[in-house]
Structure 1
Amino acid sequence: MAAKSEAGNAIVETIKTVVYAVLIAGVFRTLFFQPFWIPSGSMKDTLLIGDFLFVNKMAYGYSYASCPTVRVPRLGINIDAEDLCGFLKGDNERVLASEPQRGDVVVFRHPVSGADFIKRLIGLPGDEIQMVDGVLHINGKAVELEDAGQFEEVFKAQGPERLYPRCENGPVGEGALCTKTRQIETLPNGVKHDILNIARQASDQTPIYTVPEGHYFFMGDNRDNSTDSRVPQSIGGVGYVPFENIVGRADRIMFSSAGRSMLFFWTWRADRFFKRID
């Protein structure tokens, strides 16, 4: 009997340990940092497919979007932040709120689908945003641009979704060099960052967008390969993002995998460990 009792106690203790670990991880993800793996090339060359980072949730305070989303399709797990904290949604307010700054790289929940997106904050409440011949205009003034050569990568399938890059010099064959024009863009507050251009397209010429109060306007650094606030939500875009939908700020890349999985350590990029995100 004593042996069975000890075995039973060991099982109970194991279960308790697992439960405590899950609770601690949940609190950590809710209050402090959320892991995020870059799935697409919309933020190249600032962020590459396979970059792994932690999102700083303390940067802008907390809302319903701060609650963790856990999706593991293979195990049938699909827990959304709105499932846990949806009762907080709707007032567009945050606890311990701090205003995002223009130029921040931000993770936010898509206003319609709830999917996590990562883009650069371009427009603040009240701003007028427009693209004219591929040049960003903020409040009627063109941003400063400086040529920065070319961004080069190999034309091959990238990441777990096996996405192929778009090329300015395309179409090119498998394994060939894929290039894009790179420029340094300076925002009105002095933030400098790279942007990439591929071709002339509809998103290079837009109407004037006036950002509503309590909302923000986001764009990808890979300008011609980004679904962002330039595209209205009614036709599948991001549109204006409410303050409460912001998850947090991306500050630093922890490591980066050029392969299909972040577990394939032999594919990790040696030059991206703890790289600051500008």
Structure 2
Amino acid sequence: MAAKEETSGNAIVETIKTIVYALLIAGVFRTLFFQPFWIPSGSMKETLLVGDFLFVNKMAYGYSYASCPSIIMPRFGINVDAKNICGFLDGENTRILGGEPERGDVIVFRHPVSGRDYIKRLIGLPGDTVQMRNSIVYINGEEAPQEPAGNFVEVMEPQGPEGRRPRCSNGPVGDGGDCLKARAIETLPNGVSHTVLDIGPQASDRTGVYTVPEGHYFFMGDNRDNSADSRLARQVRGVGFVPYENLIGRADRVMFSSAGRSMLFFWTWRSDRFFKRVE
């Protein structure tokens, strides 16, 4: 009997070791190579939809303290910040094996104040000036031209786990109706083109001139009228200028996309978004 109990005990120990090793390997993989990210809001429509699931390429820009994951689970009282894990890498706004991002990249970064992960498009590089004039972005005094491309149409309904309803340019829309936004193709100075959406005139369509400090970047959402980004100061509810060390990685491709309340609801997956390239 003792031998049987000993064998059973060893099996349990080996199972625990296997689980611990698997978690360690997964943690190293997530820290060094790719981090999963699920899109919770509509600030990057139509490039990224609520419910898109993607992996962020952490090798693109090298590594900093922000490369370590934050573990935030309010329901269980867990709030472990990346600085608690990789604080030894924090300082002087530097990176290990650092690479320079390119204008137009879609990037996940840590909010400079809250530490939450955000995803936006890189518009302004260090030393640039950026300004919005009548919904058009000007970079270093030059217009980033927009070519009208019809309307972006989506169904008015709760979206994602938070059940947020989209904003529409065609006024109040009842559930099940078509929610419209003006669509345009914007071309940045380096030739990168992407889709932007417009809902209607608002304060963020007309701004002063922002001068991007050295070692920082200016980000905007593609859904321009529904994005808290670098146009708003951190103290208001935006992100302001983002330090180089706060970049986490580049979004290259959507793996799959769920139109339901959970990414596990496979019957709500969007068939046209499997392995879709992020542009």
TM-score, with length taken from structure 2: 0.98
Q: Which residue is equivalent to 2:120?
A: 119
Task: Tell me the distance in 2 between the aligned counterparts of 1:244 and 1:264.
Answer: 36
Secondary structure at 1:250's aligned position in 2? strand
What residue identity is the alignment partner of 1:159? Answer: G
Task: Tell me the distance in 1 between the aligned counterparts of 2:122 and 2:233.
Answer: 16
Q: Which residue is equivalent to 2:148?
A: 147
Task: Tell me the distance in 1 between the aligned counterparts of 2:70 and 2:235.
Answer: 24
Q: Deviations over 1:87-144 (max 9, x none)?
A: 3223100000000000000000000000000000000000000001110000001111
Q: Deviations over 1:223-260 (max 9, x none)?
A: 00000000011212100000000000000000000000
Q: Following superposition, which runs of at least 4 residues in structure 1 exceed 4 angstroms of deviation?
A: none
Q: Which residue is equivalent to 1:88?
A: 89
Q: Which residue is equivalent to 2:17?
A: 16
Q: Indicate yes or no: 2:188 matched with 1:187.
A: yes
Q: Which residue is equivalent to 1:245?
A: 246
Secondary structure at 1:9's aligned position in 2? helix
Q: Which residue is equivalent to 1:26?
A: 27
TM-score, with length taken from structure 1: 0.98
Q: How many residues align?
A: 278
Task: Tell me the distance in 1 between the aligned counterparts of 2:267 and 2:235.
Answer: 42
What residue identity is the alignment partner of 1:215? Answer: H
Q: Indicate yes or no: 2:165 matched with 1:156.
A: no
Q: Deviations over 1:32-52 (max 9, x none)?
A: 000000000000000000000
Q: Report the Cα offset of residue 72 of structure 1.
A: 3.2
Q: How does 1:32-71 map to 2 (within 5 A)?
A: 32-71=33-72
Q: Report the Cα offset of residue 69 of structure 1.
A: 1.8
Task: Tell me the distance in 2 between the aligned counterparts of 1:73 and 1:215.
Answer: 30
Q: Deviations over 1:32-82 (max 9, x none)?
A: 000000000000000000000000000000000000122333444332212
Task: Tell me the distance in 2 between the aligned counterparts of 1:221 and 1:109.
Answer: 18
Unaligned stretches of 5+ residues in structure 1? none
Task: Tell me the distance in 2 between the aligned counterparts of 1:25 and 1:72.
Answer: 18
What residue identity is the alignment partner of 2:58? Answer: K
The share of aligned pairs that are identical, in percent, is 71
CA RMSD of aligned residues (A): 0.8
Task: Tell me the distance in 2 between the aligned counterparts of 1:144 and 1:24.
Answer: 46
Q: Which residue is equivalent to 2:263?
A: 262
Task: Tell me the distance in 1 between the aligned counterparts of 2:122 and 2:265.
Answer: 32
Q: Indicate yes or no: 2:217 matched with 1:216.
A: yes
Task: Tell me the distance in 2 between the aligned counterparts of 1:86 and 1:257.
Answer: 35
Task: Tell me the distance in 2 between the aligned counterparts of 1:248 and 1:102.
Answer: 14
Judging changes above 3 Å, is the alpha-carbon distance between structure 1 residues 241 and 78 closer, same or farther for their aligned structure 2 residues?
same
Task: Tell me the distance in 1 between the aligned counterparts of 2:122 and 2:15.
Answer: 45
Q: Indicate yes or no: 2:206 matched with 1:205.
A: yes
Q: Indicate yes or no: 2:77 matched with 1:109.
A: no
